Amino acid sequence: MASYDSIQKKALIDYMRRHDERPLTIDEIVTGLTAEAQTGNYIAPGKSTVYRLMTKLVEGGSVKRFVRGNSRQFLYQITDGDKCHLHFHLKCDVCGRLYHMDEEISRSIAEIIGQKNGFTIDRDETTFYGRCRACKKSDVNV
């Protein structure tokens, strides 16, 4: 059974890496894995298995989890893993893409807030929301 789970986990991580341009819902992930399993040499994991694996990946820091707008639906996106705790993240409200803020800028922001407010920011859990450069350019109303 452990081998079966590790094959599915590897398939899930590989899928998330190939689709790292935007966060995905569990349904999108399951649909994508099912389609790929037809041409691959593995059995697509079921929805409950994907939920369980994603929970472990989020807890391990390999995947970030977001809430879609004001809904209760979660979105998932693969991260840089070990390096993600060194910087903040920027998430575009329009295209949904996750960007990694420069480590030096992240450190400066954290230091300023710490000095001025006596508050320590958790970089693993901090994401700034706004519009990315590409979406800002394409939106003439901004």
Q: What is the pLDDT of residue 1?
A: 43
Write down all domains in the chain, each with its CATH number in brackets.
Answer: 1-79 (1.10.10.10), 81-142 (3.30.1490.190)
pLDDT over 90 (residue 29): yes
Q: Dihedral sign for Cα 15, 21, 24, 28, please.
A: negative
The residue assigned the tokens 């300023």 is 112
- Residue-wise pLDDT for 51-77, tens only, equals 999 999 998 888 888 887 677 888 898
**Residue corresponding to tokens 């809904």:** 71
pTM of the model: 0.66
**DSSP count for the chain of H helices, then E strands:** 5, 5
**pLDDT score of 141 more than 80:** no
**Tens digit of pLDDT for each residue in 93-109?**
888 787 888 889 989 99
pLDDT on residue 84: 65
pLDDT at 140: 57
Amino acid letter at 84?
A: C
Contact between residue 12 and residue 29 where contact means Cβ atoms under 8 Å apart = yes
